[in-house]
Amino acid sequence: MTTQAIGISAMAAYLPPYRVNLQSWCDWTGENWDKIRTVIGHSFRMRGPGENVYTMSATAIMRLIRQYDLDPSRIGFLALGTESSTDNSAGAVIVKGMVNEGLAAEGRPLLPRNCEVPEFKHACLGGIYAIKNALRYLAFDGRGKQALVVSGDIAEYARSTSGEPTQGAGAVAMLLEAEPKLLAIDLNRSGSASDYRGPDFRKPFARFGNQNAAIGTPLKDFPVFNGKYSTTCYVDAVLMAMEDMFQRRGGDRRAYLDSLGAVFMHRPYQRMPETGYGMAYLYALATGNAVDRAVLAEHCSAAGIDPAAVIAELGGRPSVFSLVSEARVDDDVYPLAMQVLRSFRKSPLHAEAIASRLELGATAMREVGNLYSAALPAWLAAGLEEAARSDRELGGSELLTIGYGSGDAAEAVPMRVRPQWREAASRIRFDESFTGARDLGQEDYECLHESGHLHTAAAGSEFIIDRVGCGTRSDFDDLGIEYYRHVPNPRAAG
């Protein structure tokens, strides 16, 4: 096994141009804008006509190759992390086919035939699982090669549901290699957690029963979800992944969290990572030394809660799934700690230890929406770019990334910022993903949401679904197969 540092050297993103301003959406729906902007964010993106997760992912990879002037022939591993696949057999190889078409059009070397093309699915954690497997590839049989990981998703919810303002669409591509330029990742110091949670957030095939897959009318991928229960699952999974990480690394837990340069988490909406990391910090205090427990006691007293009861609650292993079997899905499994967190949010320590760790890239992410598997990579990309442009020094510091996938599973993965990170971060160009955005009015939003059509399309992905096979020939079956076309984009030269 190699002893070289392995990690991420390059990042690039694609966001479709169709934007829904949530203040306007509140005017259409009668929702409270002050609440929406505080809890959810400011806007979200929607996939356009002819777009799907494969076209967005291919566009993100093409941007990555151009922005870093990569040699595609060195790639030995191309992984797709998504929960928005439209094919239950192939996935990453579809992206590879489009990318090679684009590369050929530009006279560049192609991705090689001996490139592995796995797809990883576990709700919003698929991208992190893809990164971990790319690292393992590079450490063993892929030594000397490079790996591409692209996380892409389409978050869609039925109108008039609590999930509607948390929609989003986009993809983030990453280059991984030995002696990385941006971030080194040591999986021996990371933490994992998983447990079955039943109806947390699911996408059973039964939802597709009566849908028509005709061209231009994409299948509705609305999930089955239970909001309050899903929040409980998220918090519990984060705590258990953090515990596994703490056990592996040892040392003072609170001191480690206070040493971090920044924290990036799965971000279904603005408030969720604030809640998750706030609870993780209280957990570190409760399971730390006597000084840490004394700090926790101060905040428990401010909330009128018995510190011993909070420590016992956080140190337990609650059965989250029992909330379903006992018909208590609106209950918390950490009710006392959640009360303390609400009081803790008002304290100077929260501003210093929690809010400041989550600020990098947060402004940009308020305009993106939920990107599922791409949410954490997008936030990481936005944060690194912001740090480079604001002349904030991160070199040598450790970042903590926490991924989550409903169902439920979580990964706490520390990443060390490389000394030469600034030059690589300056090429991410995440802010350019916002250029050319088209704000949708109510009529266009409803039309795109329901039918996948718009009267006038904007320039978006450089790959589109050209047609869908109808399987009408007796000697050739391609029913439902999507065929793609490369459409050179004005940004291609960039």
pLDDT tens by residue, 386-420:
999 999 999 999 999 999 999 789 999 999 999 99
- 3-state SS class at 110: coil
Q: Which amino acid belongs to residue 13?
A: A
| Cis bond before residue 391 (omega within 30° of 0) | no
In contact, 199 and 327? CB cutoff 8 Å: no
Average pLDDT over residues 320-331: 92
What is the residue-averaged pLDDT of the chain?
94
Q: What is the pLDDT of residues 110-125, one digit of tens each?
A: 999 999 999 999 999 9
**So what's the pLDDT on residue 489?**
66
Residue in 230, 347, 233, 190 with CA at minimum distance from that of residue 281:
347
- Assign 473 a pLDDT band (cuts: 50, 70, 90): confident
Q: 6-493 has which CATH code?
A: 3.40.47.10
Residue 446 has pLDDT above 90, yes or no: yes
- Sole residue written with tokens 């598997």: 373
Q: How far is CA 86 from CA 14, 72, 127, in A?
A: 19, 26, 17
Q: What is the pLDDT of residues 197-232, one digit of tens each?
A: 999 999 998 888 888 766 557 888 999 888 899 999
In contact, 151 and 171? CB cutoff 8 Å: yes
Cα separation, 268 vs 261, whole angstroms: 22
- Assign 493 a pLDDT band (cuts: 50, 70, 90): very low
Residue 486: count other Cβ atoms within 10 Å of its Cβ. Answer: 22
**So what's the pLDDT on residue 213?**
66
In contact, 478 and 92? CB cutoff 8 Å: no
Average pLDDT over residues 337-363: 98
In contact, 2 and 141? CB cutoff 8 Å: no
**So what's the pLDDT on residue 1?**
44
Residues composing the chain: 494
Residue 398: count other Cβ atoms within 10 Å of its Cβ. Answer: 18
pTM given for the model? 0.96
Residue in 17, 33, 94, 102 with CA at minimum distance from that of residue 66:
102
Residues with Cβ within 8 Å of residue 337, at least 6 apart in sequence: 279, 282, 283, 286, 310, 313, 314
Residue in 102, 212, 201 with CA at minimum distance from that of residue 153:
201
- Assign 249 a pLDDT band (cuts: 50, 70, 90): very high
Cα separation, 440 vs 443, whole angstroms: 8
Average pLDDT over residues 261-266: 98
Report residue 155 as tokens. Answer: 């978050």
Classify residue 271 by burial, with Cβ atoms within 10 Å: 0-12, 13-18, 19+. middle
